[in-house]
């Protein structure tokens, strides 16, 4: 066990290391967390993820751009690779919030944004099934059925490929209306997401996970209400 | 349709009316009932599509092609051709090799995809009316990202000499593209660097600006008109764009045209945009006519070209 002072020191170094994309600092602090017996889940959520939240804010304020975000992501993974093997099975189970199928839609090979969102899901404890880029539209529906995932995250960078999202959403909702589908990418807006029939819109990687959790809750509530209404 | 009107606007001058450029791209293929992959590899179809688009839209200028993969594919990057878009680059020769190891050569008019484009350009030039045939070349950061892959974005922070070497090389490739478009007869040549909006102003200044200079010199030495096209939310780097050295620039629908106009006037630059393609034409959320009126009102008559964003 570590005392509060030591814990706060390690968490701050993990967070700072991510924010200032100092991978070496994150690795040192992560190893120290393991050696000193700091709860690895605490280190991930309140150190690495907390840092990434600040990075998201800096991106929104346009102080950080794609290069800085990618550097921060490298630093975060540097720590995650050390800390994650030390999570206990029970913590892993508790940490798993759901399963996500993620990919860039057909015709589009731009995967920077998708990879950042994937990382955020990773950190938040989701099981991620990454289909990569240029994914045939029907593959999303197939993978959802195969993995029984409760979230589909679709990414596109081009206006033309973005239009394919509507087809994917229709395809999946037709088979399983309880799946939560979120969309994101340069040409997307909340308005477009609504028109496409998506359950959530990821404005950036930072809010993707929060949006995913929100939409799962919304769908669960709707499902519960429907069941209540169906009860004689 | 008026060539001089467009050139004046692109150079930041006052015009009596705002000239109009539909960046038809592979939409020109659609207009003549062809698929993008076949269209982009056939000089007769490209010429037919460009001439048809110029006439159909009563344009003051039309790009010969709008495909930022020409240079990369001509250097050996693998491409995935599709029916309704330009091809996508799917391999990055500098991902794990140095420039020297990869032995990349700057493509000339005789290499890769260029012969088809040159032939198409000559056919258009022989038949076109009073409008500008525009040459669009792939900007240095975008081309560097084709060659190096996503690593180029972290290289600009942690591996700067390598990033500089690759982006400068991409700039030299762009300069050769400018020579090719010059020789075809394009009166306006634009450096198109969509991903340059995704970096800090300092990074833009350090890497993109220097790498554009050779292409700009080629264009200006020939007495032609230059522009710099950027995509996405380029607000933070727009001052850098104004200072890159071209006569003007073009932006997309994500920017506030009032802000863009004020900055363009401050730097005496031509500027183009920003009809909301996605919202108005693809999705119908915004009325295209109202959107056009708003754009024209915001753009004004000093250096403004009415165009999709």
Q: Do B277 and A107 touch (CB under 8 A)?
A: no
> Which residues in chain A are contacts of B90 at CB distance < 8 A?
109, 134
Q: What is the mean pLDDT of residues A14-30?
A: 97
Q: How far apart are CA B29 and CA B256, in angstroms?
A: 31
Q: Between chains, do A67 and B89 touch, taking CB under 8 Å as contact? A: no
Reply yes or no on whether the pLDDT at A218 is more than 80: no
Q: Can you tell me the mean pLDDT for B262-281? A: 91
Can you give the CATH number for the domain in which B197 is found? 3.20.20.210
**Interface contact B154-A163, CB threshold 8 A:** no
- Record: fold of A96-232: Rossmann fold (3.40.50)
Distance (Å, rounded) from C-alpha A172 to C-alpha A179? 8
From the CA of B230, how many Å to the nearest CA of chain A? 13
Q: What is the mean pLDDT of chain B?
A: 95
pLDDT at A223: 61
Q: Chain A residue with minimal CA distance to B197?
A: A65
Q: Which residue on chain B is closest to A195 by alpha carbon?
A: B283
Domain count, chain B: 1
Fold of A1-95: 1.10.1240
For helices B209-221 and B160-184, angle between their N-to-C axes, nearest 10 degrees: 20
Task: Say yes or no to pLDDT of B1 above 80.
Answer: no
* Whether residue B117 has pLDDT greater than 60: yes
Nearest Cα residue in chain B from A157: B232
State how far residue B133 is from chain A, nearest Cα, in angstroms.
24
Tens digits of per-residue pLDDT, B248-259? 999 988 899 999
Dump pLDDT digits (tens) for B205-233: 999 999 999 999 999 999 999 999 999 88
pLDDT confidence of B276, banded at 50, 70, 90?
confident
By a Cβ cutoff of 8 Å, what residues of chain A touch chain B?
21, 62, 65-68, 70-71, 74, 107-109, 111-112, 134, 158-163, 186-187, 189, 191-192, 195
Q: Closest partner residue to B154 among A70, A163, A187, by Cβ? A: A70
Instruction: Give chain A positions within 8 Å (CB) of B153.
Output: 66-67, 70, 112
Where exactly are the structural domains of chain A?
1-95, 96-232
Per-residue confidence (pLDDT) for residue B66, from 0 to 100: 96
Mutate to test the interface with A, among B200, B208, B308 (most CBs of A within 10 A): B200
The parent domain of residue B73 ranges over 3-308
Q: Are B46 and B35 in contact (CB under 8 A)?
A: no
Could A109 and B84 be called an inter-chain contact, meaning their C-beta atoms sit closer than 8 Å? no
Please report which confidence band the pLDDT of residue A222 belongs to, taking 50, 70 and 90 as the band edges.
Answer: low
Quote the pTM value. 0.90
Residue from A22, A187, A194, A198 whose CB has the most chain B CBs within 10 Å, to mutate: A187
Is the Cβ pair A62, B89 closer than 8 Å? no
Taking residues B18-24, report their average pLDDT: 95
Band of pLDDT at residue A110, cut at 50, 70 and 90: confident
Across A70-74, A91-95, B118-122, least confident range: A91-95
How wide is the angle at C-alpha B217 spanned by C-alphas B213 and B219, nearest 5°? 120
User: Is the per-residue pLDDT at A58 higher than 70?
Assistant: yes
Q: Determine whether A42 is exposed, middle or buried from the number of CB atoms within 10 Å of its CB (0-12, 13-18, 19+).
A: middle
Mean pLDDT for all residues in chain A: 87
pLDDT at A26 over 80: yes
pLDDT at A107 > cutoff 90: no
Tokens of residue A58, six digits = 């800096």
What's the rounded Cα separation, in Å, for the pair B248 and B254?
18
Contacts of A68 in chain B (CB under 8 A): 157, 200
pLDDT one-digit tens code per residue, A77-101: 999 999 989 987 656 656 557 899 9
- CB distance B198–A195 less than 8 Å? no
- Percentage of residues in chain B having pLDDT higher than 70: 100
């Amino acid at each position: 066990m570590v005392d509060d002072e030591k814990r706060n020191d390690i968490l701050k170094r993990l967070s700072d290391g991510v924010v200032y994309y100092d991978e070496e600092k994150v690795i040192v602090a992560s190893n120290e967390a393991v050696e000193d017996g700091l709860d690895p889940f605490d280190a991930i959520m309140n150190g690495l993820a907390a840092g990434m939240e600040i990075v998201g804010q800096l991106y929104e304020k346009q102080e950080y751009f794609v290069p800085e975000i990618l550097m921060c992501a490298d630093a975060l993974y540097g720590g995650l690779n050390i800390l994650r093997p030390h999570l206990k099975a029970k913590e892993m189970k508790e940490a798993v919030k759901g399963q996500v199928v993620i990919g860039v839609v057909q015709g589009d090979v731009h995967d920077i944004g998708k990879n950042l969102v994937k990382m955020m899901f990773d950190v938040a404890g989701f099981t991620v099934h990454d289909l990569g880029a240029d994914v045939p539209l029907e593959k999303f529906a197939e993978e959802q059925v195969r993995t029984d995932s409760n979230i589909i995250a679709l990414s596109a960078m081009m206006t033309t490929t973005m239009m394919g999202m509507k087809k994917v959403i229709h395809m999946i909702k037709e088979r399983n209306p309880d799946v939560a589908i979120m969309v994101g990418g340069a040409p997307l807006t909340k308005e477009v997401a609504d028109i496409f029939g998506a359950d959530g819109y990821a404005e950036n990687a930072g809010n993707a996970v929060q949006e995913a959790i929100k939409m799962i809750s919304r769908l669960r509530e709707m499902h519960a209400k429907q069941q209540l209404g169906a009860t004689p | 349709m008026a060539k001089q009107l467009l050139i004046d606007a692109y150079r930041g001058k006052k015009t009596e009316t705002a000239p109009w450029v539909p960046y038809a791209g592979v939409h020109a293929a659609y207009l003549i009932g062809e698929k993008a992959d076949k269209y982009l590899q056939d000089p007769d179809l490209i010429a037919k599509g460009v001439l048809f688009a110029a006439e159909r839209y009563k344009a003051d200028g039309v790009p010969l092609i709008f495909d930022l993969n020409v240079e990369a594919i001509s250097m050996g990057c693998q491409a995935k051709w599709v029916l309704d878009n330009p091809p996508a680059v799917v391999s990055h020769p500098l991902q794990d090799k140095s420039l020297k190891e990869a032995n990349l050569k700057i493509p000339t008019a005789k290499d890769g995809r260029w012969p088809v484009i040159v032939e198409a350009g000559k056919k258009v030039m022989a038949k076109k009316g009073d409008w500008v045939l525009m040459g669009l070349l792939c900007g240095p950061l975008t081309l560097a990202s084709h060659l190096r892959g996503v690593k180029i974005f972290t290289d600009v922070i942690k591996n700067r000499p390598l990033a500089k070497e690759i982006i400068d090389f991409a700039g030299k490739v762009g300069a050769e593209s400018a020579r090719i478009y010059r020789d075809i007869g394009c009166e306006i040549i634009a450096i198109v660097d969509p991903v340059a909006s995704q970096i800090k102003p300092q990074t833009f200044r350090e890497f993109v600006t220097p790498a554009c200079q050779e292409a700009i010199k080629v264009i200006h030495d020939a007495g032609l008109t230059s522009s710099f096209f950027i995509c996405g939310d380029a607000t933070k780097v727009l001052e850098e764009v104004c200072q890159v050295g071209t006569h003007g620039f073009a932006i997309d629908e994500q920017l506030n045209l009032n802000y863009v106009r004020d900055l363009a006037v401050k730097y005496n630059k031509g500027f183009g945009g920003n009809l909301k393609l996605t919202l108005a034409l693809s999705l119908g959320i915004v009325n295209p006519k109202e959107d056009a009126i708003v754009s024209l009102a915001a753009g004004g008559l000093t250096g403004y070209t009415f165009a999709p964003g």
